[in-house]
A and B are shown apart, each in its own frame.
Chain A
Amino acid sequence: MISAAYSLLYSLGLTGLLSQGWTLTYWQQVVTDGNIWISLLYSLAIALSAMGISLTAALYLSLRHKAALQQKTTAYLLFLPLGIPAVVAAFFTYQMLAPSGLLSRVSYAWGLSESAAQFPSLVNDSLAIGIVITHIILAIPYFTVLFNNIYLSENVADLEQVSNNLGSTRRQTLRVIVIPLLLKRAMASIVMFLIFVMGSYEIPLLLGVSDPRMLSPLIADKMFRFDLTDKPEAHAMLLIYLLSVIAINLFVLKRTRLYAS
């Protein structure tokens, strides 16, 4: 709250070394410029894509391959990405998917492409494929562990058994009981992941494009750039982002409560 209040004062020209006094100019500039709104939507779209794919894959792994997850080697290989920092994961994606990367070279060696330039653009692309892939790699193990733990702690296997005894098909049990239960119990983590992806910095910095930009690179650019008079605008952008995060939190909390009731 204190830092939000500080950002508010900064964005209104009421504090800061180069402050010229009360003004709404910075807010007007940020709101009318449009970059923050594009960036907000772009970041949300990337976060939702990464979340959707990660959750689907994690549900599949935790429900369909429970036995394999108990095996030491499989578990080790699957959970390895949990220990990888975001910046390392981003480099790994770059080395794999860049036009000069491993996949491109394999594709060239196998005669699937005639040159590196022909390889599809999977990093630094406006569809953010590289960014989404990196977040997925980092998130799948986390959600798999989470779902697996919830499955065990909530005795979901017993519920499945009861449902089957009452005549439900496996598909019905999954759709009506298991998946909603796992998602509901994991809701707080899912929302935190969504916010984490929206605010990620290193991954879009390395794998993103110059336009549109995700929120963190956009705001960091304004905050630390050559023109120090841009700082109040960066604080205004930061506040817009924080308000969006709080709005998402409130929305999800409300929905979760409605769902629970």
Chain B
Amino acid sequence: MILAVAAPVATALYMNMKKYILIFGLFLLVAACRQQDAAPVPSTWEEMVAAGSNTTVHLMMWQGDPFINSYIQQFVKPRVKELYNIDLQVAGGQGNQIVSLLMTEKEAGKRSSAIDMMWINGETFYQLRQIDGLYGPFTDRLPNAALVDWNNPFIGIDFQQPIEGYECPWGNVQMAIIYDSLLTPQPPLTMEALQQYVQENPGTFTIPNDFTGMTLLKAWLIALAGGGDALDGPFSEERYRKASALLWEYVRSLQPYMWKGGKTFPDGPATMHKLLANGEIHFSMSNNDGEVDNKVLQQLLPPTARAFVFSSGTIQNAHYMGIAQGAPNKAGAMLVINFLLSPEAQYHKLQPAVWGDGTVLDRNRLPEEWQEKFNNVPGRTYAPQRSAIDSLALMELAPEYMIRLFDDFRKEIIEK
């Protein structure tokens, strides 16, 4: 896309340079005129409510799931309007687009950002911390933060990096493999069983070349390094080299039997869900263990779809809401985030018919009536129960592991 735009632009510039320089100059002038400093953040919650009410909050988030979009548009938006008269404006954009936007704003010297808050995961948190793009610490200012167990490592630590109040947990998920029980009555629960299955059923398994695929590889890397906390802590070149040698050996043993002969890999879970629904492959995957329910209810997957977690474990992590360092309306963003963290919003989100996203609230800290409600959420139909897979949860590794896996998956598998 960049090049499709860049090429004609370059040619046009080449042909009509002066005109474009003039337009660009005018653009810079207009941009400079729009520059404004962000308002100071109030110190007490009462002042926060006063400052954030009757304002507009700009949220940037991934909008690829109709259930999630509906949760925001039909539930969150009206409620924050009702509670604080906040006009929540949602713009589409995920990880790399958020990072690019904030990076470009910083590089252009813009003090006030176009967005106030954004939905991020560990990958984006790591990048935004690198460029100092996040405002914080702010979570201790939120009254509902008292309902969160910040000592839970799956919440308080993101990619082995303490969150230190720079992002607020919104949901908690664990990676699961999705399959069609009609095609695969007995799913392979171990890496060895998967190897055997793939060899007996060639073309039915693949790994997406994206964050989800790398998350699966990370879980396998941990298993091959000894399991559990074998790779916890800062990145270790030596430990990575040893474990990754075994990992590539394993993946290479699957490669000739993978979808398209292991010569190409899907770009993400959405493509894999489609391939699974078409019967082209037998396994899809998601970072959200509850996604199978969500996709069956959307009729993207058949009602025979189910999900499992490898006995060697899969990565569990939280996803978060962050506030841009240059957010013009930090008070409004905090009111919205505090609402997202409320038992009301978390409970609504937990229901599979709404979204099916795991809560980040500690049930023991909830008022009694809410405890009862959370304990009686309509059960998941197609996904494994959370209690059954909690013991198989693995921590996210240090970010460098992800960087290396992306590079080496290309070098060792795709380009070989």
A200 at the interface (CB under 8 A from B): yes
User: Which has the most chain A C-beta neighbours within 10 Å: B6, B103, B127?
Assistant: B6
Tell me the minimal C-beta distance from A258 to chain B in angstroms: 20
Per-residue interface assignment for chain A, residues 202 to 219, with 1 indicating a CB less than 8 Å from any chain B CB and 0 otherwise:
100100111100011001
Cα–Cα, bound, A216→B6 (Å):
10
Answer whether A216 and B279 are a contact pair too, CB < 8 Å, given A2-B24, A225-B96, A249-B14.
no
Contact in complex: A100, B279 (CB < 8 Å): yes
Cα–Cα, bound, A171→B178 (Å):
61
Contact in complex: A16, B6 (CB < 8 Å): no
Contact in complex: A210, B130 (CB < 8 Å): no
Contact in complex: B131, A17 (CB < 8 Å): yes
What residues of B have a CB within 8 angstroms of the CB of A246 in the complex? 10-11, 14
Contact in complex: A121, B260 (CB < 8 Å): yes
Contact in complex: B127, A228 (CB < 8 Å): yes
Per-residue interface assignment for chain A, residues 1 to 23, with 1 indicating a CB less than 8 Å from any chain B CB and 0 otherwise:
11110000000000111100000
A124 at the interface (CB under 8 A from B): yes
List residues of B (176-212) whose CB comes within 8 Å of A's CBs: 203, 209, 211
Contact in complex: B263, A209 (CB < 8 Å): yes
Contact in complex: B7, A16 (CB < 8 Å): no
Contact in complex: A216, B3 (CB < 8 Å): yes
Q: Which A residue sits closest to B106, measured CB to CB?
A: A17
Cα–Cα, bound, A6→B373 (Å):
56
Contact of B7 among A3, A18, A100, A198 (CB under 8 A): A198
Binds A, one of B240-248, B374-382, B402-410: B402-410
Tell me the minimal C-beta distance from A237 to chain B in angstroms: 10
List residues of B (377-416) whose CB comes within 8 Å of A's CBs: 399, 402-403, 406-407, 410, 414-415
Answer whether A201 and B4 are a contact pair too, CB < 8 Å, given A246-B10, A246-B14.
yes
Contact in complex: A211, B414 (CB < 8 Å): yes
Count contacts on A: residues with CB < 8 A to the other chain: 45
Contact of A116 among B9, B97, B123, B280 (CB under 8 A): B280
* Number of chain B interface residues as a range: 35 or more
Answer whether A227 and B403 are a contact pair too, CB < 8 Å, given A17-B131, A99-B280.
yes
Q: Which B residue sits closest to A223, measured CB to CB?
A: B2
Tell me the minimal C-beta distance from B200 to chain A in angstroms: 14
Cα–Cα, bound, A220→B3 (Å):
9
Contact in complex: B263, A126 (CB < 8 Å): yes
Per-residue interface assignment for chain A, residues 30 to 72, with 1 indicating a CB less than 8 Å from any chain B CB and 0 otherwise:
0000000000000000000000000000000000000000000
Contact in complex: A242, B106 (CB < 8 Å): no
Answer whether A228 and B4 are a contact pair too, CB < 8 Å, given A121-B260, A209-B264, A246-B14.
no
Answer whether A215 and B3 are a contact pair too, CB < 8 Å, given A17-B107, A225-B96.
yes
What residues of B have a CB within 8 angstroms of the CB of A225 in the complex? 96, 406
Answer whether A245 and B7 are a contact pair too, CB < 8 Å, given A15-B107, A226-B403.
yes
What residues of A have a CB within 8 angstroms of the CB of B2 in the complex? 199, 201, 216, 219-220, 223, 238
Tell me the minimal C-beta distance from A232 to chain B in angstroms: 13
Contact in complex: A226, B123 (CB < 8 Å): yes
Cα–Cα, bound, A4→B24 (Å):
13
Answer whether A117 and B403 are a contact pair too, CB < 8 Å, given A209-B264, A211-B414.
no
B370 at the interface (CB under 8 A from A): no
B140 at the interface (CB under 8 A from A): no
List residues of B (1-32) whose CB comes within 8 Å of A's CBs: 1-11, 13-14, 17, 21, 24
Which of B's residues lie within 8 Å of A, judged by CB?
Answer: 1-11, 13-14, 17, 21, 24, 96-97, 99-100, 103, 106-107, 123, 127, 130-131, 203, 209, 211, 260, 263-265, 267, 275, 278-280, 399, 402-403, 406-407, 410, 414-415
8 A-B pairs within 8 Å (CB atoms) are namely A3-B6, A98-B280, A192-B11, A198-B3, A210-B264, A226-B406, A238-B3, A246-B10
Which of A's residues lie within 8 Å of B, judged by CB?
Answer: 1-4, 15-18, 98-100, 116-117, 121, 124, 126, 192, 195-196, 198-202, 205, 208-211, 215-216, 219-220, 223-228, 238, 241-242, 245-246, 249
- Which 3 A-B residue pairings sit nearest by Cβ, starting from the closest? A199-B3, A100-B278, A201-B1
19 further A-B contacts with Cβ under 8 Å, apart from A17-B107, A210-B414, A249-B14, are: A18-B131, A116-B280, A126-B263, A192-B11, A195-B7, A196-B7, A198-B7, A201-B2, A208-B264, A209-B263, A210-B209, A211-B410, A223-B2, A224-B99, A226-B211, A226-B399, A228-B131, A242-B10, A246-B14
